[in-house]
Amino acid sequence: MLDPQGLYVLADDLPERGRPVLIQALTGFVDAGAASRITREHLLDTLESRVVATFDVDQLLDYRSRRPVMLFVEDHWEHYDEPRLELHLVQDPTGTPFLLLTGPEPDLQWERFTAAIVQLIERLGIRLSVGLNAIPMAVPHTRPVGVTAHATRPDLITGYEPWLQRVQVPGGAGNLVEFRLGQQGHDAIGFAVHVPHYLSQTEFPAASVVLLDSVSRATGLVLPTDHLRTSAEAVRVDIDKQVAQSPEASELVRALEEQYDAFLRDRAGSSLLATGTGDLPTADELGAELERFLAEHAKPNDPPA
């Protein structure tokens, strides 16, 4: 493996920061409800921050699989949306510093990238790494947003009950970082918020609120959520109005509610990933029908559902 330090440039004028927390909010292959993106943008928009490390994305990205956007105006190229993988030093409202990793998940050199992150964690004295994810689940928007917590030590996520037992999923660079950190004795946590799968292609700020609340609970950081809560309430009202327009859609939501409530009554015997029984539609059928309905009734300026 090539030298991990060759992947990044670290500022040489870092202020005193104690032993900060690192929040990983990379753009991966799954970000249901855009929850991770909304969360990182919210933190950078509302809190004081500066970039303290940059990564060489030319070594990490496959541009042909994720082509950056370019703007053409009449007779010339006017703008290139340059991909950036950066480490930000951020302060919460109490003045407590933490680090925020943003940018596209690497396509290439995962082990070298992971080694670079571990190296930075050790150089900067980071006490805890927290990864953010958002996954589509067969859950209704009318129930509290759930979250799956995982960590390199069980006591780091005391109080969280598992939603999944054993499942094989495609890997992610952020998850690999957590796995390697655990192997090397570093503390790391991950939170995967559950987004109703019929809303996975549109913005769902309620999931971002849960992510920030989970990070605050685990780290003691004071992270603002007022603006996101207001947005979440507006989105909820809009979704309720759209669903209420169709008795069929309302019935589908009620079926999802029954499935969700049954799961909570007996976690060991139910699964939100399982198919329904009897006359209850399967999760895929429910999601497909609701996604179709919401797409047909979306406002002209709404993002596609």
Radius of gyration of the chain (CA): 21
Confidence of residue 54 (pLDDT cuts 50, 70, 90): very high
Domain segments of the chain: what residues? 4-224, 232-296
The yes-or-no verdict on residue 220 having pLDDT over 80 is: yes
| Inter-residue contact 88 to 9 (CB < 8 Å) | no
Q: What is the pLDDT of residue 281?
A: 47
Helix (H) or strand (E) holding 97: strand 97-104
Token look-up 């859609």 returns: 249
Structure tokens belonging to residue 25: 């909010």
Token look-up 């302060």 returns: 91
How much is the pTM? 0.87
Rounded to the nearest integer, the mean pLDDT of the chain is: 88
Is 3.40.50.10800 the CATH classification of the domain at 4-224? no
Q: Kindly state the percentage of the chain with pLDDT values over 70.
A: 87
Confidence of residue 45 (pLDDT cuts 50, 70, 90): very high
Mean pLDDT of the 74-88 span: 97
Confidence of residue 52 (pLDDT cuts 50, 70, 90): very high
Q: What is the pLDDT of residue 165?
A: 77
Residue 135 region by backbone torsions, left for phi larger than 0, else alpha for psi between -120 and 50, else beta: beta
Lowest model confidence (mean pLDDT) among 47-56, 204-213, 243-252, 268-277: 268-277
Mean pLDDT of the 149-178 span: 90
Q: What is the pLDDT of residue 162?
A: 81
Helix axes 205-219, 226-244, angle to 10 degrees: 140
Q: What is the pLDDT of residue 299?
A: 47
Confidence of residue 284 (pLDDT cuts 50, 70, 90): low
